[in-house]
Amino acid sequence: MTGSALLSTWFPEAASTHAASVDEPFYWIYFAAVCFLALFMGLVLIQLRVYRRQDRDQLGAVTGRPNPVFVTLWVAAAMGLALFGFITGLPGFINQTTPPWGAFEIDVTASQWAWEFTYPNGHVADTLHVPVGRPIRLNLGSTDVSHSLAVPALRVNKAAVPGREVQAWFEVTTPGTYALQSNTFSGDGFADMRSELVAHAPVDFGAWMEEVSDIFKGRTLVEVGELLYTRHGCAACHSVDGTKLVGPSFKDLYGYEFDTIEGARVLADDAYIRQSILEPNISVIAGYQPIMASFTGIIDDREIEAITAWFKTLSSKGGAAPDAQEEN
Amino acid sequence: MSVGTRTTAAETQPSYLADKRGLGEWFSTCDHKKIGLMFLGWTVFALLVGSLSGVFPVAKSLGGRGLEPRFIFEATTYHRLLLLFLFLVPALPSVFGFFLLPMQLGARNMALPALSRFSLRFYVIGLVLILVSMFTGPIATGWTLAAPLSSTDPGSFILVAAGLFCATLSWFLTGINIFVTVHYKRAPGMGFFDMPIMAWSLYLTSYMLIAVGVLFGVVIAYLAASRAGDVGLFALNPGLWTDYFWFLVTPSVFFALLPGMGVVFEVVAGISRRAVVGYRMVVGAMITLLGLSFLTWGVYLAGQGQGQDPTTTLVFSAISLLTAVPVALLTYGLLATMNQGSIAGDGPDTFMVGFLLHGGIVCLMGVFLASPAPGAYLGTTMFVSTQLDYLVWGGAVFALLAGLHYWWPKMVGVEYSREVARIGGIFAIIGLNLALIPRLIMGTQGVAQDMIAFVDGPAGLSELSALGWLIATLGMGVVAGNLYASTWSGRKAEANPWGAGTLEWRTDSPPPEKNFETPPEIEGAYRY
C-alpha cells in the first residue's frame, strides 16, 4: 500500500528508546495535519466551483457576517491541533532533557572539522562507541564555531556550541553502526563532520573498551610516557622546555642531581622518579612547595617505566634511546 | 451599475505608461506606479538569480562532478540571502505598497514621493553590491552569517554586509513611506476601517519593515565592524549574533506571509464580487499575528540548536501555539467570503489556491516544529529549510503571481490568456510539491538543513525532487511568458475586468499619472 510505504519512509529505522517519543507525535500530527489541509483545500476548491460567476454582472451576496458557531469550531479545531501537537511532544522532550542518574558519560568536543569523544578512562576517539541497553550521557562542547551532534537513527540532535556545555542522553536498543553528523553549517570542511556511532552488545563493549584502553598497544614506551603527561595533567605544573612552572621542568631532569629542602642531595634516577610520582612529598626539591598529589593507584609500574623512558629522551644525560636499549 | 460609470479619470488623460516616456524619466520618476513596476522587475531579478544559484547544490546531489564543497556552500549562501532578504521580505510590500496602495486609498501618490525613489535606489545598490561580491570573493558563511564564521571567511564579506545594509535601509524607507501614506493620504472620508484588507496588511507590514529594517541594519553594521576592526558587540561575544539574528529574522521572514494574505483577501473579494466577510475580525487577526510575530523568535532559535535552556524553549513553543488563533480567523474569513460569492473562476484563482495550499503547509509544519520532541529532532534538518522553500516559492511567489494576475490589467492595461495562466499555474504547483515533499522526507530522515548536495538519504529522493524542480520551472516559465506575451498581444483591458469593488478599479487601466481626477467618494472598503 502506498500509504504505509509513505509512512515508513519518513524516519530511518529507530534504534533508541527515545525514538518512539519523536516518531509517534510526528505521525499523529502528520495525520491530523493532512486531514486539516484536505478539509481546508476541499472547502476552497468546492466553493470555487459552486459559487462560480454565471454571468458578467452577477454580484456576490451583499451582506454576510461570520457565523459564530463555525468561527468557534474552526478556531477550536486549529487551537486543538496546535495544543495536541504540543502536548504529545512534551513527554519526550522532558525525558530528553533530564539524563538519568548513573548514565555512562562521554565528553564530546566538536571543532572545525572533527569530532573528539573522550571516555571516562581518558581514551579519546573520533568515533563514538557505546554499549546497548545502558543510558549514555554526552557532555557537548565546541572549541570554535557552533556545531551540532545528530544521530538520526537515535533521533538525537543537540547543539555543541563554544562556551556552553550542553547535555544529551540516549539509550541504544539495537547493536549496529549508525551515521553521526553535524547539522549546523560550520564552514568549508563541513562535509567532513561525519562520523559513526557504533553500538556494541554490553559484553562486546567491555572487550572493546579494554582493547582500546591498552595504551601500550601500537605505541612505543616513550610515546606512552608523553601521552600520560597530557592525560594526567602533569603539563599544568611541569614544562618540557626548561620553563619553571609550579613544579620543576622535565627537561634535563633525568640523571641530574638536585638539592632538597632538607638540604640533602638526590640523583634523579629510575627509583627517585618512581618515588616522586608515588610519594612526591618524601623529598621535596628546594625552591618548590610540596603540593604535588600522589599518583599511587592511578599510574601503575609499567606506566612509570614509560614516563621514565620519556624523561630520558628529554634529558642530555638520558643515555641512548630506550628503544635502542631494548634491542641490546 | 455598469463598470464604465465608475471611471472618474477624464478620458483624455494619457496613461502613466504613455505619459513621460524615456529612460531618464524612469530613472528620476517619483510616480508610485512606475516605482512599483521597477520594484517588480528588480525583485523578480533577485528571485531569478537566487533560484539559479540553488541549481548547483541540486546538480551536486545528482552526482555532478567538479563542484567543490566550498563552491556549493557559496551557492547555497547566496541562494538563501537573495531569496530571503532581497525577495521574500521586500517583494510584496514594495511592489504592491508602491504600485497599489495610493490607488487603494484614493490618493494620487505616496505621501513621500521622493523617498519612494530612494527606497528603490537603496534596494538596487544593495542587490548590486551583493552580486558584485559574488565575483570579487563569494562568501560561504551560510545565510545566517553566523559569527565567528563570518569574521574569518575569506570572501568579500564587507561587500555583502554593505549590500544587506542598503537592502534593510530600503525596507525601512519603504515602511516609513507606507506608514505615512496610510496615515495622511487616505481619500477624504475614508476611515481606517474603510481601507481594503490589502491596505491594512501593507500598513501592518510597515511596522515590521520599520522596526526590523533599522535594527537589522544596525546589527549588520556591528557584525561588519567586528570583522573589519574587531570592535563592537559581536567582537566581544560572537554567540550574541545568533540571538539578534533570529530575533529579527523570525518576524520578517516567517511573517512575510502577512502581505501575501492581504493579496489573497483582495483577490478573493474582487473575483467573488463580495465585501470581505468578518472584515474587523480579519483586521484584528492580522494585528494579533503581527504582535505574536515578535514573540515567537525563540522557537527557531531553539530549533537552530543554540543550546538554550529547555524551559525557554517550551515557553516560546507555547507562545507560538497562539498563532493558530489568528491563522484560523484569517482562513475562516477567506472561506466565508467565497461562500455565496460570484467567483470569476479563472486568472488569479489558480495562484490563490496555490498560495493557500503552500501557506497551509507552512503553518502546519509550524505545528511539527512547535511540538517539543519532534521539534528538537527536526530543528536543524532539511525539514526546516524546506519550510523556507515553501515560504519563498509556495508563499511569496504564489502571492505575487496571484496579485499580478489580478492587477495585471491595471498595471499594464492588457489582458493575458487566462487558460495559459491556469495551465502554467497547475504545473508550477505540482512541480513545486514534487520538488519539496522529497526534501521534507530527507529532513525527517536526518539530512542537515540546506545540505541537499551532501546527501546519501533514501535513494531516488534527490532525483524525484530535481524532476519536480524541472516541472515547476517549466510551469513558471509558461506563466511568466504568458504575462510577457500579453504586453504585445494588444488585448486592451477594461477599467474593471473583475467587477471588483475597491478604489483602484475606478480609474483607467492603466491609470493616468494622477490616478484620480477628483478624490473618489468612499462607501466602506468594498463597494459593488
pLDDT digits (tens, 9 = 90+) for A225-254: 888 888 887 888 898 888 888 889 998 888
Whole-angstrom distance, CA of residue B51 vs CA of residue B170 = 22
In contact, B452 and B61? CB cutoff 8 Å: yes
Cell numbers given for A58:
452577477
pLDDT score of B456? 62
What pLDDT score was predicted for residue A327?
35
Rounded to the nearest angstrom, the minimum Cα separation between A232 and chain B is 30
How confident is the model over B172-199, as a mean pLDDT? Answer: 94
As a whole number, the mean pLDDT across chain A is: 86
Name, in order, each residue with C-beta under 8 angstroms of B291's C-beta and a sequence gap of 6 or more.
none
**Interface check B158 vs A, CB under 8 A:** no
Task: Give the nearest partner residue to B148 out of A97, A145, A189, using CB atoms.
Answer: A145
Report whether B306 contacts B259 (CB < 8 A).
no
CB contact under 8 A, A71 and B278: yes
Predicted confidence (pLDDT) per residue in B439-475, tens digit = 999 899 888 888 877 766 556 888 888 999 999 999 9
* Cell, residue A267: 640523583
pLDDT at residue A105 tops 50? yes
Residue B5 pLDDT > 70: no
CB-CB under 8 Å, A89 with B371: yes
Enter the DSSP assignment of B307.
Answer: -
CA-based nearest distance B389→chain A, Å: 18
Report the DSSP beta bridge partners of residue A260.
Answer: A285
Alpha-carbon distances of B467 from B58, B383, B463, B464, B470, rounded to whole Å: 11, 19, 6, 5, 5
Tell whether B215 lies on the interface with A, counting CB pairs under 8 A. no
Over 50: is that where the pLDDT of B333 sits?
yes
Q: Are B282 and B261 in contact, with CB atoms under 8 Å apart?
A: no
Is there a contact between A157 and B381 if contact means CB atoms under 8 Å apart? Answer: yes
Which backbone phi and psi does A129 adopt, to 5 degrees? -110, 130
CA pair distance B502, B202, nearest whole angstrom: 15
B160 close to B66: Cβ distance less than 8 angstroms: no
**Nearest-CA neighbor of B435 among B57, B80, B86?**
B57
Closest partner residue to A75 (CB to CB) among B317, B318, B329 is B329
pLDDT surpasses 50 at B1: no
Mean pLDDT check: name the lowest of B67-71, B349-353, B476-480: B67-71
**pLDDT for B303:** 53
Q: Which residues of A touch B70 (CB under 8 A)?
A: 188
User: A188 vs chain B: nearest CA distance in angstroms?
Assistant: 5
pLDDT greater than 80 at residue B305: no
Listed range (A181-185, A298-302, B170-174, B482-486) with the worst mean pLDDT: A298-302
Q: How far are the Cα atoms of B26, B29, B102, B109 from residue B16, in angstroms, in the given order?
A: 11, 11, 14, 12
CB B86 within 8 A of CB B48: no
Q: Give the helix ranges, DSSP H, for B84-136.
A: 91-99, 101-104, 113-136
Q: How far is A126 from chain B (nearest CA, A)?
A: 20
The residue of chain A with its CA nearest to that of B456 is: A179
Its pTM stands at 0.84
Residue type, B519: P
Percent of chain A scoring above 90 in pLDDT: 35
Chain A residues inside the 8 Å CB shell of B142: 185
pLDDT tens track for B213-264: 999 999 888 888 888 777 777 777 777 788 788 888 888 776 788 999 999 9
Ranges of beta strands (E only) in chain A are: 104-111, 114-118, 124-125, 128-131, 136-142, 147-151, 156-160, 166-170, 176-181, 194-200, 257-259, 265-267
Q: Which residues of B touch A26 (CB under 8 A)?
A: 368, 371, 374, 444
Chain B contact probe: residue of A6, A93, A148, A164 with most B CBs at under 10 A: A93
N-terminal to C-terminal alpha carbon distance within chain A: 74
**Tens digits of residue pLDDT in B496-518:** 888 888 999 988 888 988 888 88
Residue of chain A whose alpha carbon sits nearest to that of B241: A146
- Is the Cβ of B228 closer than 8 Å to some Cβ of chain A? no
pLDDT digits (tens, 9 = 90+) for A115-138: 999 988 878 888 899 999 999 999
Work out the average pLDDT over A177-192. Answer: 88
Q: Which three cell numbers stand for residue B53?
A: 544559484
d(CA B239, CA B302): 14
Task: Give me the mean pLDDT over the A205-210 stretch.
Answer: 86
Residue of chain A minimizing CA distance to B501: A59
User: What is the number of H-type helices and E-type strands within chain B?
Assistant: 23, 0
Residues B397, A297: Cα–Cα separation, whole Å = 70
Test A150 with B448 for CB contact under 8 angstroms. Answer: yes
Give residue-wise pLDDT tens across range B101-154: 999 999 999 999 999 999 999 999 999 999 999 999 888 888 888 877 887 788
Distance between CA A227 and CA B383 in Å, rounded? 43
What phi, psi does B192 have (nearest 5°)?
-60, -35
Beta bridge partner(s), residue A115 = A110
Q: Which residue has the higher pLDDT, B44 or B298?
A: B44
A26 and B CB contact within 8 Å:
yes
Q: Give the 3-state secondary structure of residue A300.
A: coil
Binary contact (B140, A188; C-beta < 8 A)? yes
B332, B357, B372: residue with CB nearest A74: B332
Q: Is B289 on the interface with A (CB under 8 A)?
A: no
Of A65, A97, A157, the CB nearest to B377: A157
- Angle A140-B303-A129 (CA atoms, 0-180°, nearest 5)? 30
Copy the grid coordinates of residue B101.
496602495
| Other Cβ atoms closer than 10 A to A280 | 19
Element at B289 (helix H, strand E): helix B279-293
Would you say A278 and A217 are in contact if contact means Cβ atoms under 8 Å apart? no
- Max Cα-Cα span within chain A: 116
Nearest neighbour of B306 by CB, restricted to A58, A65, A159? A159
Radius of gyration of chain B (CA): 22
Q: Is residue B281 less than 8 Å (CB to CB) from chain A? A: yes
Q: How many CB atoms lie within 10 A of CB A87?
A: 12
* pLDDT, position B455: 66
Position with higher pLDDT, B225 vs A25: A25
**Inter-chain touch A184–B70, beta carbons under 8 Å:** no
> Residue B40: its pLDDT value, please?
95
> Measured between alpha carbons, how far is B161 from B170 in angstroms, rounded to an integer?
14
**Beta-bridge partner residues of A210:** none
- Say yes or no to pLDDT of B293 above 90: no
- With an 8 Å Cβ cutoff, is B484 touching chain A? no
**Residue B521: is it exposed, middle or buried by C-beta count within 10 angstroms (0-12/13-18/19+)?**
middle
Q: Supply the mean pLDDT for chain B.
A: 87
Q: How far apart are CA B109 and CA B96, in angstroms?
A: 13
User: Of B330, B335, B476, B489, which Cα lies nearest the Cα of B401?
Assistant: B476
Chain B hits for A57, CB-CB cut-off 8 Å, are 2, 499
What are the structural domains of chain B? 26-254 (1.20.210.10), 257-500 (1.20.210.10)
Q: Which of B300, B342, B355, B456 should we substitute to test contact with A (largest number of A Cβ atoms within 10 Å)?
A: B342
Please, are residues B234 and B147 in contact by the beta-carbon 8 Å criterion?
Answer: yes
C-alpha cell at A263: 638540604
B155 vs B130: which has the higher pLDDT: B130
pLDDT at B490: 74
CA dihedral sign, ordered A111, A112, A115, A116: negative
Residue A77's closest chain B neighbor by CA?
Answer: B328
Angle value at C-alpha B113, between B109 and B118, nearest 5 degrees: 140
3-state SS string over B61-85? HCCCCCCCHHHHHHHHHHHHHHHHH
What is residue B155's predicted lDDT score, i.e. its pLDDT?
Answer: 83
Distance in angstroms (rounded) separating the CA atoms of residues B193 and B197: 9
Contacts across the A-B interface (CB distance below 8 Å): 263
Query: Pick from A88, A152, A157: which is nearest to B376 by CB?
Result: A157
- Would an 8 Å CB–CB cutoff place A157 in contact with chain B? yes
Task: Quickly count: other Cβ atoms within 10 Å of residue B160's Cβ.
Answer: 28
Q: Give contacts of A30 with chain B, Cβ < 8 Å.
A: 368
* Chain B residues within an 8 Å CB radius of A59: 273-274, 342, 499, 528
Q: How far apart are CA B445 and CA B458, in angstroms?
A: 8
Measured between beta carbons, the chain B residues lying within 8 angstroms of A79 are 321, 324-325, 328
In the three-class reduction of DSSP (H, G, I as helix; E, B as strand; rest coil), residue B55 is classed as helix
- By the 8 A CB rule, do B323 and B370 touch? no
Q: Which residue of B has its CA nearest to A85?
A: B371
pLDDT digits (tens, 9 = 90+) for B6-35: 444 445 678 888 877 788 888 888 899 999
Cβ contact (<8 Å) for A81 and B146? no
* Mean pLDDT across B391-400: 94
Q: Using a CB–CB cutoff of 8 Å, tell me whether A51 touches chain B.
A: yes
Query: Which of these, B215, B290, B297, lies nearest to B257 by C-alpha position?
Result: B290
For residue A168, what is the nearest residue in chain B, using CA coordinates?
B307
Do A157 and A148 contact (CB within 8 A), yes or no?
yes
Name chain A contacts of B305, Cβ cutoff 8 Å: 146, 148, 157-159, 183-184
Contacts of B281 in chain A (CB under 8 A): 66, 71
Residue B377 is nearest to which of A30, A33, A155, comparing CB atoms? A155
Query: Which cell numbers hold the place of A171?
Result: 539509550
Please tell me the predicted confidence (pLDDT) of residue A5.
52
Whether residue B379 is predicted with pLDDT greater than 70 in this model: the reply is yes
Selecting from A89, A162, A190 the residue whose C-beta is nearest the C-beta of B373 gives A89
Contact B496, B510 (CB under 8 A): no
Query: A29 vs A327, which has greater pLDDT?
Result: A29
A188 with B73: Cβ contact below 8 A? yes
- What does each C-alpha distance from B133 to B127, B165, B218, B245 come to in angstroms? 10, 14, 20, 21
| CA dihedral for A85, A91, A95, A98, sign (positive or negative) | positive
pLDDT digits (tens, 9 = 90+) for A273-308: 998 898 888 888 888 888 888 888 888 888 899 999
Determine which helix (DSSP H) or strand (DSSP E) holds B226, and give its type and residue range. helix B197-228
What is the CA A176 to chain-centroid distance, rounded? 18
